[in-house]
Amino acid sequence: MVNKELHLYGFNSETSKFIVKNKYTIRMYIRKNAKK
Protein backbone atom coordinates (compact mmCIF):
# COMPACT_ATOMS: atom_id res chain seq x y z
CA MET A 1 0.00 0.00 0.00
CA VAL A 2 2.64 2.52 1.05
CA ASN A 3 4.90 1.89 -1.94
CA LYS A 4 1.97 2.19 -4.37
CA GLU A 5 0.87 5.49 -2.79
CA LEU A 6 4.41 6.89 -2.94
CA HIS A 7 4.74 5.79 -6.56
CA LEU A 8 1.52 7.61 -7.45
CA TYR A 9 2.93 10.81 -5.94
CA GLY A 10 6.15 10.34 -7.92
CA PHE A 11 8.56 9.68 -5.05
CA ASN A 12 11.77 7.86 -5.94
CA SER A 13 12.92 4.68 -4.19
CA GLU A 14 15.32 6.54 -1.87
CA THR A 15 12.59 8.89 -0.67
CA SER A 16 10.15 6.03 -0.15
CA LYS A 17 12.72 4.08 1.90
CA PHE A 18 13.39 7.18 4.02
CA ILE A 19 9.66 7.69 4.66
CA VAL A 20 9.13 4.01 5.49
CA LYS A 21 12.04 4.10 7.95
CA ASN A 22 10.59 7.18 9.63
CA LYS A 23 7.15 5.58 9.90
CA TYR A 24 8.69 2.50 11.56
CA THR A 25 10.76 4.66 13.92
CA ILE A 26 7.73 6.76 14.84
CA ARG A 27 5.68 3.63 15.55
CA MET A 28 8.39 2.26 17.83
CA TYR A 29 8.69 5.65 19.57
CA ILE A 30 4.93 5.73 20.19
CA ARG A 31 4.98 2.15 21.54
CA LYS A 32 7.78 3.01 23.99
CA ASN A 33 5.91 6.09 25.21
CA ALA A 34 2.65 4.15 25.48
CA LYS A 35 4.33 1.62 27.81
CA LYS A 36 5.36 4.36 30.28
Residue type, 32: K
Q: Domain limits at 15? A: 2-35
pLDDT at 3: 58
pLDDT at 5: 61
> What is the number of structural domains in the chain?
1
pLDDT mean by block of 10 residues, the chain; 36 residues: 58 71 83 79
27-36 pLDDT, tens digit per residue, is: 888 888 887 6
Is the Cβ–Cβ distance between 17 and 3 less than 8 Å? no
Distance of CA 3 to the CA centre of its chain: 10
